[in-house]
Amino acid sequence: MNTAAAGIVPEPIARQPWEMLIPLFALVGFGAAVLYSAGGGAMAPFASSHLLRFSIFMVMAMVIAALPRDLVRMLTYPAYIVVLLLLMAVEAIGQVGGGSQRWLDLGFMVLQPSELMKPTIVVTLALFYSTLPVGMTNTWRALLIPGGMVAMPMALVLLQPDLGTALAIGFGGAMVMLLAGLPLRWFLGAGLAGIVIAPLAFFYGLKEYQQRRVMTMFDPEADPLGAGYHITQSKIAIGSGGVFGKGFNEGSQSHLNYLPEPHTDFVFATMAEEWGFIGGLFVLTVFTFILRWGWKVAQASDDRFASLLAGGMVVTIFFYAAVNLMMVMGMAPVVGIPLPWMSHGGSSMLTNMICIGVLMMVNRWNQKAPRRGLGA
């Protein structure tokens, strides 16, 4: 669609990646409808602020999309250091909420720096690998420095403690490393090590409430009023929706407060109750479109930095969506990860719009310098 620029449509508009934007707008609009219902059938407080945030962050994404490559390369490491300092600041002076210390009150807004770290780590590693001499890709130096770059923010986020975000950062970093061409056996080795360490980490590393959440995933009915309540109620909401759902604004699970967090982490369950399987398929399809467009952008770039950057962003968005959906369907432990563009929440909207903005930026770079022939 972006290439089929007919004469009627002005060029700056036709240039936009509509094959991604239209599904995205649809998803955000759908999310607003679900939030309208979750808000008890009103725009306030969720739906209107959801749309407002999206508009603001869309503008921000366009600004990001307009950034020149050199500026991005130049700002990458400073940005990483700033976000890392913010994470340390959270540790020192951050606000405590919900049992962990994640937020930084900047006066005009409450910032969750760990969210910013997710796209930042991707950009940072992409830059690192694009500047790493090709011959060193399969040496230990290719792993040691980026490993430290990933481990530092992960450790800080784990201290908060926020396992979900820490995993997201680690996952994003690892995926960029994979795409950067690091030897596969390292990943296999790490996977094996993970299998060995996971039980140890479970028993000694996790807080009790985190352990309970993990256990709950395997048997939610064991503790129907405690940790299993979230998953049980979420499954009831999704399951009771059936094929076509109970109808807009008719979801009893969310309207009568049985479903916890119906507007944030469990927004998919709220949606599925009212829109059924059809609504769920729509959401999955939209994510497929957006992610597929992201991969196309990554593959279309001939620049190592840009393609790693795009791939990392796609993976970051995917991590959000997949973990959230697995969680609400009872296939993953309850970790506080919202669903991109549907959940109500500023920080996750910010992160995901940064990802989209970066993808649009890479897309623009691609358009300016179309891929040269075959090979590098």
Partner 1 sequence: MKSLFSRGKRNSRPAKIMNASILRSSFERRTVLIGTVQGGIGILLAARMGYLAIAENEKYRLESESNRVNLTLIPPRRGWILDRNGAPLASNRADFRVDIIPERLKDPEGTIARIGALLALEPSRIADIKDKVAGARGFQPVEVASGLNYDQFAALSVRLPDLQGVVPQRGFSRFYPTASSVGHLIGYVGPASAEEYEKDPNPLLITPGYKIGKDGLEKQFEKELRGVPGARRVEVTASGRIVRDLETREDIQGEPVRLTIDGPLQDYAARRIGLESGSVVVMDCRTGDLLCMASMPSFDPNSFSDGIGSVEYAMLRDDERVPLRNKVLKGLYPPGSTVKPMVSMALMEQGIDPKETVYCGGGLRVGNRVFGCWNRRGHGAVDMAKGIYQSCDVYFYAMAQRVGMDPIAAMARRCGMGQEFPLPVTSQFYGTVPDPEWKMKKWGREWQTFDTVNATIGQGYMLSSPLQLAVMASRLATGRHVMPRLTLDTKPKGFDNIDFPSEQVEYVRQAMSDVVNGPGTAGRARLPIDGVQLAGKTGTAQVVSLSISNGKSGPWKYRDHGLFIFFAPYDNPRYAGAVVIEHGGGSGAAYPIARDVMTFLFDPAKGMEALTALEKQWGGTAQQRLDARYAAYAAERGAAVSRPPRRDEEIFDRVEAEARVAAAQSQAIADDVIAPRPEANPSGTPPVSAPVEPPAATETQAPVVPEAAPAPAPVTDGGTAQ
Which residues of this chain interact with partner 1, rule CB under 8 A?
134-135, 137-139, 175, 178-185, 188, 233, 235-243, 252-253, 256-258, 272-273, 276-277, 280-281, 284, 287-288, 291-292, 295, 298-299, 304, 307-308, 311, 315, 318, 322, 325-326, 329, 331, 375-376
Supply the minimum distance, in Å, between the C-beta of residue 139 and partner 1: 7
Q: Which is nearer to partner 1, 90 or 315 (CB)?
A: 315
106-110: long-range contacts, CB 8 A cutoff, minimum separation 24: 109/346, 110/346
Supply the minimum distance, in Å, between the C-beta of residue 204 and partner 1: 29
Q: Which is nearer to partner 1, 307 or 366 (CB)?
A: 307
Q: Which is nearer to partner 1, 72 or 182 (CB)?
A: 182
Token pair, residue 281, equals 């398929």
Q: Which is nearer to partner 1, 156 or 283 (CB)?
A: 283
Q: Token pair 């995205």 is at which residue?
A: 24
Q: Which is nearer to partner 1, 84 or 177 (CB)?
A: 177
Token pair, residue 24, equals 């995205």
Q: Which is nearer to partner 1, 29 or 181 (CB)?
A: 181
Supply the minimum distance, in Å, between the C-beta of residue 343 and partner 1: 16
Q: Which is nearer to partner 1, 53 or 235 (CB)?
A: 235
Q: For residue 319, which of 351, 364, 296, 345 has the smallest C-alpha distance?
A: 351
Supply the minimum distance, in Å, between the C-beta of residue 182 and partner 1: 8
On whether the CB atoms of residues 263 and 46 are closer than 8 A, the answer is yes
Supply the minimum distance, in Å, between the C-beta of residue 246 and partner 1: 9
Q: For residue 23, which of 369, 286, 311, 237 has the smallest C-alpha distance?
A: 286
Supply the minimum distance, in Å, between the C-beta of residue 266 and partner 1: 13
Q: Which is nearer to partner 1, 102 or 263 (CB)?
A: 263
On whether the CB atoms of residues 103 and 95 are closer than 8 A, the answer is yes
Supply the minimum distance, in Å, between the C-beta of residue 48 and partner 1: 24
Please state, as a whole number, how many other Cβ atoms lie within 10 Å of the Cβ of residue 170: 18
Supply the minimum distance, in Å, between the C-beta of residue 20 and partner 1: 15
